[in-house]
Structure 1
Amino acid sequence: MLQTLRDKTSGWIATVILGLLIIPFAFFGMESYLTQKVDAYAARITQPPAWWPSAPQAWPVSYLWKTHDIDAQDYRQRLETMRMRLRDEQGDKFDSKAFESAENKRQILDDMIDEQLMRLAAESDGIVVSDAEIRQEIQQIPDFQVDGKFDADRYQLLLASQNPPQTPRTFEQTVRDNLQYGLIPSRLARSGFVTDMELDRLMRLLGERRDVSFVVMPPIPADTAPITPAQIQAWYEANARDYRSPETVRLEYVEVDASTLPVPVADEAALRKLYEEQAAKFSTAEQRSVSHILVQVAADASDADKQAAEARAKKLADQARVAGADFAALARANSDDAGSKAAGGSLGWLAKGGMPGPFDDAAFAMAAGEVRGPVKTDFGWHVIKLDELRGGTRQPFEAVRAQLEQELVEGGRERAFNELSGKLVDAVYKNPNSLEPAAKSLGLMVQTTPAFPRGGGPGIASDQKVLRAAFSDTLIRDGTASDPIELSPTRTVLIRVVEHKPEAALPLSQVGNAVVLAIRADRQRKAAEAAADTLVKAAKASGLPAAATAATLAMGEANDVRRGSAVPSPEVVEAFFRVPRPQDNLIPVGKTEAGGQFIVFAIRAVRDGDIGQVTAEERDQLRQQLSQASGFQAQKAFVRAARGKYQIKVAEDRL
């Protein structure tokens, strides 16, 4: 049988078949048949070979394309990092639902895609970051500095304290990558510039002033025309989003408030014990007014110089001890302490521990008027005189009794608050599906809130931390109690969602009256706009003054109006500057709506801003702002162009 098999596989047909089988093995390898590959990317970026930019992404040419994946785990880590940063920055204003929106998640992934594209562009252009640039960048990071200078020990300590810990090598590689992919966009952002002609033109526009005539259209009479059921149904269907009940929750909660706890009794013994424990708080330390003469000795001085300095100090000390000697004059003439020499050696009032050890010990062992020395310190030899002493004082118990009583009461109430809060949490954790048993065991009351939307409600429902917890998926889905929520340092609450109603469409039978009012308001607005359009048409034909007179409408004027002016209103002024300038003796006419009324206006005159009134500082500031904006636009354009060179696939189900 083996001979027969050999005969059958030795012909030219068998050779062709074997050759065809070799092709897929050459492209895929045996491992593609033996293993199963599971994709775990959040986004995949593919690019054609550099030598064939127009290569089709079809088999087998697609295997020539390079693939760069953004791992889903890296994306989730970036998402969590952003969540923590925004929560720290925004505090109670942080909106977890908005952060979890598909738009926000996609924006974070797009940022990662752009970073990868910039990295690929840098590699393609042969951009290399030198070790010196990396060292310079790291040394400029404030967290690695001590007293404004880079500290290698602090650098390694902070890297080791990261979670997970980092080595200098891995951190340096991260810095290298960031510098590499950020080099092109950062240089583009700095490349923007503005010519003097562009700057002058913009300043003339920014300082532009306009003279305007305007007519405020009178209110339109209320709509009273009949509304058919078909019109009501059509409006309801076309504006269904306006007729929905918001998502709401109703809570039960248990609150622990320190201000409502019984006031602890402050007995006399406890007050006196607290007084003794805080004796330093109610006492002032003894102080001494000291003068000195310093004979300075360098640390590397020779033995002969040290002996000479000591001898000189002894001589000065003997002179100072002579009855009637002027210590201040001796100090001014002989002291090496530049800081106190001019003041006759006076160091002012000193507390214990304010000077080097031997000096301090001597100064606080002297009597008033006494001179001691020489006393040796690291600075040299000192001759010391005690000018005056001021004994320490201590407030009597009766003077601080009320303060002690308040502290004792507040401390006792705080301990009671912490103890009760801890017991409540422990009891709730034992039975998280209900607050009643825990509250009953501790003599607390279970309270409830009315149903409220995400925007909040009365009482605790106005607190952002409560709102975040109340509308969290966990509490809504499981119906369990929350972790303790701190409303203030002395007030905490545990909540549980007892009722959740998702957003839902309101039936027409319930909102019929609101629909009718909306239809009438829409009719009234359209009638007002039609009247304004009629006046605009007439003003274009005969001028606004004549059109207003013919319609018996009052006309007002606003002269020398500047951009951003608040009069008549910011919205109306913005409309004034949206219309073009008068040309060929034709006065432009426009309309706008503000405060529920239409305004028809005509631009009578336009005057450019006087650039001669702009200071050099204002001019430089505007140039810098415009240059930054121009550079930023160049950066965005470069990123958009880079996206066009690659195929980008996003795994939406992994976001």
Structure 2
Amino acid sequence: MFDAVRNNKRIVQVFLALITLPFAFWGVDSYVRNVGAGSDVAVVGDSKITIQEFNQAWRDHLDRARQQLGPNYKAELFDTPQARMELVNTLIDRRLLALEARKARLNVSDALLVEFITSFPSLKENGKFSKARYDALVASQGMSKEMFEAQLRQDMILQQLVGAVGDTGIVSASSAEMMLRIQSEERQVAELRLLPEQFAGEVKLDADAAKKYYEENQKLFQTPEMVRPEYVVLSLDALLAQATVSEAEVKQWYDGHKDRYQQNEERRASHILIGTGGDADKAKAKAKADEVLAEVRKAPAKFAELARQHSQDPGSAANGGDLGFFGRGMMVKPFEEATFALKDGEVSDVVQSDFGYHIIKLTGIKPAKQKALDEVRAEIEGELKRQAAQRRYVEAAEAFTNMVYEQSDSLKPVAEKFGLKIQQGPMLPRNPPAQALAALGPLGNERLLASLFAEDAVKNQRNTDAVEVAQNTLAAARVVEHKPAAVRPFDSVRADIEAMLKAKEAAALARSRGEAMLAAMKGGDDKTKWALVKSVSRLQGKQVPPAALQAIFRADVATLPAYAGVELPNNGGYALYKIVAVKPLEKVDADRRRVLQSEYTALVAQEDFAAYLSGLRQRAKIEINQAALESKER
């Protein structure tokens, strides 16, 4: 079954992305229950998703966003109720799939897990698997190898299930050919556009039209309530920059944690692999391995040459069987035990594993050693500074929170106490557009922004409460300038209203004239001077507006010329088209058909998976603990 996953990687990727879709796809209201703040964020059947699981997933989510966006990362854009709800539903989807995989008794063998890990391009150095890179990857996830590999195994099991569902998405070659012909058909058209400007002279506005529109649409001319804040931010990063550690502290830490800086023994080996299939093949493979071993025993110096000649491991055969250095836990158990039992330069007997039969030659040993203090000094200093900053932040956060509340008429005392800069914000509306939030920094946080418009903050210019705008980051603000909402005076918008009404009326006249002309043309009365003929297709339709392209290909072309017309958006007028020729696809390109077949198969499979996942949700009893999700104790 796992072959289906490897052979349909694109489909699997689509599915895995799909299970992260917002929960609104299925409807939140039918699942959310205020079941009280407890230790579980959600219940899926008899399975529970704990707050601890959610918190770890949330930290991972923010870390991934931080790594992907770098300096453009804005925590306040990610730390929203909607984002938390989406994450809960991703966890629910994964739990549903995991439960189904368990029912189906799906599993991933150790051999397959090792094959997957060692095949990762980013974990290779000079074409060979790098244990150092693997260790760094695991460390960056904040997990032990056992935890990381268990999580990876679970992900691979889920991919088996996803791949099985994906196999149901089938689009035949004939269907793909039909779609390719539809997409590639060309229609040659002439165009005539009736623009609103052509009818501007015919527009007559009533004297009171602008005033009437103004009075009936007051909300369109209202300036929003605005505040200009100042604010301070207390963050772990700021405290980390201030942290210092002494040489004595570094030495003490090193002496007390030497086991952390122990470099374990690594061994370098080359191997010749003879793969196996069925039971009959195993006997042949074993006999072949014995023959090759006999050749190796006769000429040990020719091991690399024999590996290139006989080994069936595509990853190492071309390199003479060389696997590079690796430590314990990186190879399947029989291979590892045999390798670590050899002496340098020694060749093993035939070793059997899930991959087949191996002949192993040990080519190098890196003995275990203790890293010197100077090698790990920077790492230790960083660790001690993080610990010191974290301790200080825990203490400072409470003092910061109390101080902005108790001395609420100014941010100056709290800024002086913690060495913070009072920053000036711009004039802000209550609900800034989403695209503007990224530039607001901490002020883009929904809770902090809402606090600035509270009555006490506006009328009395009191500090807001301290708000956690990101992990390990608190902010407080106060209003220094306030502008209430107001309707703009009529005289300031009169010219704009009149221009808009005239443009709208001119566009209506263009549409009316165009529709009349289209009816006449379809009746055989075509005296129009058309523009040059252009060729359009569903794949190459940039020469005409999207709405026009649809109208052109909806037109009945049984008899030519045929005509189509369409109103252009945004008061753009009306466009008429004369279809003078239809050019079908003459020859179907087999490669294009296969590509299209693959793309449509992925789309069909995506729909199948969405239906499958929706069915799992409908059959399962799902409850989301809204109180636990919103709790500050989370």
TM-score norm. by structure 2 comes to 0.50
CA displacement 1:8-58 (0-9 Å, x = unmatched): xxxxxxxxxxxxxxxxxxxxxxxxxxxx99633333222xxxxxxxxxxxx
Q: Which residue of 2 aligns with 1:117?
A: 96
Alignment of 1:625 with 2:604, yes or no, is no
Whose Rg is larger?
1
Distance 1:510 1:251, change over 3 A: farther
2:582 counterpart residue number: 607
* Pair 1:637 & 2:611 matched: yes
Partner of 1:366: none
Q: 1:227 aligns with which of 209, 221, 237?
A: 209
Structure 1 CA distance for aligned equivalents of residues 431 and 36 of structure 2: 46
Deviation (angstroms), 1:626: 2.8
CA contact (8 A) 2:184 2:539 kept: no
Q: Measure the CA separation in 2 of the matches of 1:611 and 1:248.
A: 65
For the Cα contact (< 8 Å) 2:181–2:584, is it kept in 1? Answer: yes
8 Å CA contact 2:223–2:488 kept in 1: the answer is no
The partner residue of 2:525 within 546, 552, 555 is 546
Q: Matched residue of 2:554: which SS? A: coil
Aligned pairs for 1:472-551 within 5 A: 472=445, 499=479, 506-510=485-489, 513-514=492-493, 517-518=496-497, 521-522=500-501, 524-525=503-504, 528-529=507-508, 531-543=510-522, 546=525
Q: Pick from 87, 99, 102: which aligns with 2:66?
A: 87
Partner of residue 196 from structure 1, selected from 158, 165, 173: 173
Q: 1:105 aligns with which of 67, 78, 84?
A: 84
Q: 2:119 — aligned with what?
A: 140
Q: Distance in 2 between matches of 1:631 and 1:587?
A: 38
One-letter amino acid matched to 1:205: I
Q: Could you tell me whether the CA contact under 8 Å between 2:231 and 2:476 is conserved in 1?
A: yes
Q: Within 5 A, what are the aligned runs for 1:231-380?
A: 231-237=213-219, 239=220, 243-245=222-224, 249=228
Alignment check: 8 A CA contact 2:210 2:494 kept: no
Amino acid corresponding to residue 647 of structure 1 in structure 2: K
CA distance in 1, matches of 2:36, 2:609: 37
The answer as to 2:573 corresponding to 1:598 is yes
State the alpha-carbon separation in 1 of the partners of residues 161 and 168 from structure 2: 10
Work out whether 1:561 is the aligned partner of 2:536.
yes
- Of 409, 433, 452, which aligns to 2:411? 433
Tell me, in whole angstroms, the C-alpha distance in 2 between the residues paired with 1:608 and 1:187. Answer: 41
Give, in whole Å, the separation in 2 of the partners of 1:243 and 1:623. 53
State the secondary structure of the residue aligned to 2:577: strand
Q: Distance in 1 between matches of 2:165 and 2:492?
A: 58
Match of 1:29 in 2: none
Q: Secondary structure of the residue that 1:200 maps to in structure 2?
A: helix
Quick one: structure 1 residues 151 and 579, their matched pair in 2 at CA, closer, same or farther if it must change by over 3 Å?
A: same
User: Any gaps of 5 or more consecutive residues in structure 1?
Assistant: 1-35, 47-66, 254-428, 457-461, 483-494
Gaps of 5+ in 2: 1-34, 233-399, 405-409, 453-462, 468-474
Helix, strand or coil at the partner of 1:610: coil
Q: 2:623 matched to which residue of 1? A: 649
- Amino acid of the structure 2 residue aligned with 1:543: K
- Secondary structure at the aligned position of 1:546 is classed as coil
Q: Secondary structure at the match of 2:177?
A: helix
**CA 1:185/1:223 → structure 2, altered by over 3 Å: closer, same or farther?**
farther
Instruction: Find the residue that maps to 1:212 and give its secondary structure.
Output: strand
Contact 2:566–2:576 at 8 Å: present in 1 too?
A: yes
Closer, same or farther: CA 91–152 of 1 in aligned 2, 3 Å:
closer
Once the two structures are TM-superposed, the CA of residue 591 in structure 1 deviates from its matched residue by: 0.7
Indicate conservation of the 8 Å contact 1:211/1:560, yes or no. Answer: yes
Q: Distance in 1 between matches of 2:229 and 2:586?
A: 62
- Candidates 144, 168, 178, aligned match of 1:166: 144
In 2, Cα distance between the equivalents of 1:157 and 1:228? 68
Counterpart Cα distance in 2 of 1:436 and 1:129: 56
Alignment partner, residue 389 of structure 1: none
Aligned position for 2:440: 467
Match of 1:61 in 2: none
Q: CA deviation at 1:541?
A: 4.7
Number of residue-to-residue matches in the alignment: 397
In structure 2, do the counterparts of structure 1 residues 177 and 595 end up closer, same or farther at CA, with 3 Å as the change threshold? Answer: same
Cα distance, 1:137–1:224 mapped onto 2, change above 3 Å: same
Q: Which whole-Å deviations, capped at 9, do the CAs of 1:128-162 have from their partners, x for residues lacking one? A: 33343333333334566565445668756764x46
Task: Say which structure, 1 or 2, has more relative contact order (CA 8 Å, 6+ apart).
Answer: 2
Are the aligned partners of 2:42 and 2:622 in contact in 1 as well (CA < 8 Å)? yes
Residue by residue over 1:571-599, the C-alpha shift from the partner in whole angstroms, topping out at 9 and shown as x without a partner, is 46544555344246693523131574222
Cα RMSD (Å) of the superposition? 5.0
The answer to whether the 8 A contact 1:216-1:597 is kept is no
Structure 1 residues 390-401: aligned runs within 5 Å? none
1:548/1:622 CA distance change after superposition, 3 Å: same
Contact 1:139 1:150 in 2 (8 A): yes
User: CA 1:600–1:141 in 2, change beyond 3 Å: closer, same or farther?
Assistant: closer
Shift of the 547–76 alpha-carbon distance from structure 1 to 2, 3 Å rule, reads farther
* 8 Å contact kept, 1:545–1:555: no
Structure-2 change in CA distance of 1:498 and 1:157 (3 Å): closer
Aligned partners of 2:579, 2:506: CA distance in 1, in Å? 28
* Cα offsets for 1:356-388 (capped at 9, x unmatched): xxxxxxxxxxxxxxxxxxxxxxxxxxxxxxxxx
The answer to whether the Cα contact below 8 Å between 2:187 and 2:581 also exists between their aligned partners in 1 is: yes
Aligned CA distance change for structure 1 residues 507 and 453 (closer, same or farther; 3 Å): closer
C-alpha change, 1:236 and 1:465, in structure 2 (3 Å) is: closer
Q: Which residue of 2 aligns with 1:278?
A: none
Question: Secondary structure of the equivalent of 2:189?
Answer: strand
Change in CA separation of 1:455 and 1:609 when aligned onto 2, cut-off 3 Å: farther
Question: Corresponding residue for 2:155?
Answer: 178
Report the counterpart of residue 41 of structure 1 in structure 2: 40
Distance 1:593 1:206 in 2: 23
Answer whether contact 2:173 2:594 (CA < 8 A) is retained. Answer: no
